Amino acid sequence: MTRLIAIVFLLALAFVLFRYRTNEKVQKSVVIVIVGGFLLYTASLMFSELTR
């Protein structure tokens, strides 16, 4: 549940950054963090299901 809240928070942050035209480097780093967080979340879900 905590991971899901963090992903929603990062998506909201990305929306705000893109909406108000922030620096391109900041936008790229936010996208990388969001994609990385989603991949880690997916991997942890798969791992937890496989260990059951």
Sorted by where each begins, the domain ranges of the chain are: 2-51
pLDDT of residue 1: 65
Place of tokens 């969001």: 34
C-alpha dihedral over 20, 17, 11, 25, to 10 degrees? 150
Q: What's the Cα-to-Cα distance from 48 to each of 32, 39, 41, rounded to whole Å?
A: 24, 14, 11
pTM: 0.57
| Local mean pLDDT, 10-residue blocks, the chain (52 residues) | 75 76 75 82 87 86
pLDDT of residue 10: 76
- Two tokens at 7? 């992903």
